């Protein structure tokens, strides 16, 4: 195409564009003139109506007049009296005839409406009892008695009592509106007592709320468990539990004796424990901000202020790892550290679900360059990424047991030029095993102290007098899923070792709870309980489950704390003399 054609085409385009602008302008101008231009024959609703432009919009409709009734002048109300009720004129009240032009007065009769009868109010039932605002009971039987007083216009339908502040109600038997209720076998606790009565008019009457403190035993601290998410933290061979700075360690402690407050005291701070529902279990998250060997002590208080305390396992808190510059050892903040896990089902490497274990994944190094992971058994690798640094990939990490990842990792600065030619930096990670292969305490042949337990029919037994000398004593609790899982191991051991004497004790379980546990799992095992858990103090039981291996001379040979397998159980039993 030559220059001339290009110029002609450009002129043509400009002309078309110019005409379009002119047309658009005229269109809007004409439209603006048409809108609101009265007399053009077009009624534009937005700007014209019948009032402003009747030429285009027509005349407005004439409104239909409405009759407004006259407003009455305020004054006395004169009722209309039927003619047959108007009295006849008498001589004492003659009818006057007015002269022309004068008015005639008509006598006015006023009436007063009879008042409606006021309904008699029905008063809710009144309850009188022997309860006081706060009562302390040191006996196993408590009798409540009282009387329900109904309104004189109705009768009482029923009465009920609650010992949990109205959550659940127990029917009362009334005898001429009197009642007596006997409580027996109440466990140590604080009970909020409330009584209510219902009458035939559907009115409820309530007694004053009363607090009953049952205090037959002093507060008792039982067994405990430490978890990191679903990961059960076993003690080491010296009875210490491993953790890491910043980890959320979930502690659960069982109690008896009417405990109303509980706390875990460490070297760093005091952590409040919360009751789990209506149980005697207390739970809390323990977080350590500094590394080192930590003591942890449980302190509890009951309803009348009696306290008890006991030390649990020591905690070994490991340092966090750190991300630094390989050239100058300076801290690297906000580095992204991701753990990948080999999924044996899909045969793929996937991002590890840290949230299930109370941890973040990926993590970002903090202001001090710190990071850490507490990993269960499995196969892993790490990927570390930071701005202006080469990506880092670790070699495969194979863990047979729970382990801590807290290496000091050095990152190489990213090359200024041709950085795409460089492969990711390779490192080797050295995990620290969090749990030793043995959880075994070798004892100095201490004599087994005697203690009482109950069978599942609540019969008292002596551990030294009613059982053979050579035995394995096992402490578990129905509330701990980890320890309950040991029942299948214990049952298999018993089936293969018929002559082995096992004393399986539910620590701070009731006989009905433990019996239900064994029946529900269909375990062919004989069970016992230590309901109040005095044995936990006698033997200083800290972590559940716990196994005591007793020789025929009634001396303790070994104490094994934590989860056990059948092979280890057989091996230790065969060492008994």
H/E element holding 549? strand 546-550
Which residues sit opposite 177 in a β-bridge?
A: none
pLDDT band at 188 (very low <50, low <70, confident <90, very high): confident
Q: Which CATH number fits domain 325-430: 2.40.50, 3.40.50, 2.60.120, 2.60.40?
A: 2.60.40
Per-residue pLDDT, 82 = 44
Give strand pairing partners of 213. Answer: 136, 190
Q: How many CA atoms lie within 13 A of 200 on its CB side?
A: 6
- Average pLDDT of the residues of the chain: 81
Q: Is the fold of 126-214 the same as that of 325-430?
A: yes
- For residues 496 and 483, give the distance between their C-alpha atoms in angstroms, rounded to a whole number: 21
Least confident of 19-28, 152-161, 208-217, 355-364: 19-28
Long-range pairs of 508-515 with CB within 8 A, sequence gap ≥ 24? 508/220, 508/222, 508/223, 508/254, 508/255, 508/256, 508/280, 508/477, 508/532, 508/533, 508/536, 509/477, 509/478, 509/479, 511/454, 511/455, 511/456, 511/457, 511/458, 513/478, 514/456, 514/478, 515/456
CA dist 501 and 470 (Å) reads 7
Residue 323 has pLDDT above 90, yes or no: yes
Contact 550, 557 (CB under 8 A): yes
User: Is the pTM above the cut of 0.75?
Assistant: no
Integer CA distances (angstroms), 572 to 448, 474, 494, 567, in order:
17, 13, 14, 9
Of 567, 560, 22, 495, residue with least CA distance to 239? 560
- Residues in contact with 209: Cβ distance below 8 Å, sequence separation at least 6, in sequence order: 133, 165, 192, 193, 194
Classified by CATH at the fold level, domain 126-214 comes out as Immunoglobulin-like (2.60.40)
pLDDT digits (tens, 9 = 90+) for 72-120: 444 444 444 344 434 444 444 444 444 444 444 444 444 455 555 555 5
Domain ranges in the chain?
A: 126-214, 220-317, 325-430, 440-574
pLDDT in tens, 464-502: 999 999 999 999 999 988 778 899 999 999 999 988 999
Contacts of 45 (CB under 8 A, 6+ apart): none
CATH of domain 220-317: 2.60.40.10
Poorest-confidence range of 38-47, 96-105, 459-468, 556-565?
96-105
Region 163-173: mean pLDDT is: 91
In this structure, how many other beta carbons lie within 10 angstroms of the beta carbon of residue 419?
11
Domain 440-574: CATH superfamily is Glutaredoxin (3.40.30.10)
């Amino acid at each position: 195409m030559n220059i001339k054609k290009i110029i002609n085409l450009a002129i043509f385009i400009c002309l078309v564009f110019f005409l379009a602008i002119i047309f658009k302008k005229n269109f809007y101008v004409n439209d603006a003139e048409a809108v609101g231009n009265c007399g053009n024959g077009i009624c534009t609703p937005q700007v014209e109506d019948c009032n402003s432009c009747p030429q285009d919009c027509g005349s407005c409709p004439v409104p239909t007049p409405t009759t407004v009734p006259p407003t009455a002048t305020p004054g006395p109300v004169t009722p209309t009296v039927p003619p047959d009720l108007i009295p006849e004129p008498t001589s004492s009240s003659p009818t006057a005839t007015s002269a022309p032009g004068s008015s005639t007065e008509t006598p006015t009769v006023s009436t007063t409406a009879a008042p409606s009868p006021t309904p008699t109010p029905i008063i809710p039932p009144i309850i009188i009892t022997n309860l006081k605002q706060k009562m302390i009971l040191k006996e196993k039987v408590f009798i409540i008695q009282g009387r329900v007083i109904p309104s004189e216009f109705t009768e009482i339908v029923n009465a009920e009592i609650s010992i949990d502040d109205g959550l659940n109600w127990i029917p009362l038997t009334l005898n001429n509106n009197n009642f007596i209720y006997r409580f027996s076998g109440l466990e140590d606790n604080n009970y909020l007592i409330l009584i209510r009565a219902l009458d035939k008019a559907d009115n409820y009457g309530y007694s004053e709320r009363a607090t009953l403190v049952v205090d037959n035993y002093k507060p008792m601290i039982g067994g405990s468990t430490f978890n990191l998410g679903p990961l059960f933290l076993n003690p080491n061979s010296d009875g210490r539990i491993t953790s890491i700075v910043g980890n959320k360690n979930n502690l659960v402690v069982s109690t008896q004796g009417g405990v109303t407050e509980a706390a875990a005291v460490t070297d760093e701070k005091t952590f409040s424990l919360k009751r789990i529902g209506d149980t005697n279990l207390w739970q809390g998250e323990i977080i350590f901000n500094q590394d080192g060997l930590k003591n942890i002590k449980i302190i509890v208080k009951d309803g009348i202020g009696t306290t008890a305390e006991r030390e649990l396992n020591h905690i070994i808190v490991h340092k966090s790892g750190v991300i630094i510059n390989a050239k100058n050892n300076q801290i690297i903040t906000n580095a992204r550290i991701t753990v990948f896990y080999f999924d044996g089902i899909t045969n793929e490497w996937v991002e590890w679900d840290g949230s299930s274990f109370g941890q973040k994944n990926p993590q970002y190094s903090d202001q001090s360059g710190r990071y850490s992971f507490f990993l269960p058994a499995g196969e892993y690798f790490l990927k570390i990424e930071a701005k202006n640094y080469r990506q880092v990939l670790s070699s495969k990490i194979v863990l047979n047991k729970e382990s801590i990842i807290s290496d000091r990792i050095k990152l190489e600065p990213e090359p200024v030029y041709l950085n795409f030619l460089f492969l990711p930096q390779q490192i080797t990670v050295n995990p620290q095993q969090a749990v030793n292969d043995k959880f075994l305490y070798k004892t100095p042949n201490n004599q087994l102290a005697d203690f009482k337990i109950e069978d599942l029919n609540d019969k008292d037994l002596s551990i030294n007098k009613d059982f053979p000398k050579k035995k394995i004593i096992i402490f578990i609790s129905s509330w701990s899923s980890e320890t309950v899982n040991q029942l299948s191991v214990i049952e298999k051991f018993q089936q293969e070792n018929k002559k082995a004497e096992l004393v399986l004790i539910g620590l701070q379980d009731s006989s009905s709870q433990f019996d239900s546990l064994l029946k529900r799992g269909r375990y062919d095992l004989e069970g016992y309980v230590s309901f109040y858990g005095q044995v936990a103090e006698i033997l200083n039981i800290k972590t559940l489950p716990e196994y005591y291996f007793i020789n025929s001379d009634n001396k303790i040979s070994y104490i094994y704390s934590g989860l056990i397998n059948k092979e280890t159980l057989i091996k230790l039993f065969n060492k008994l003399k």
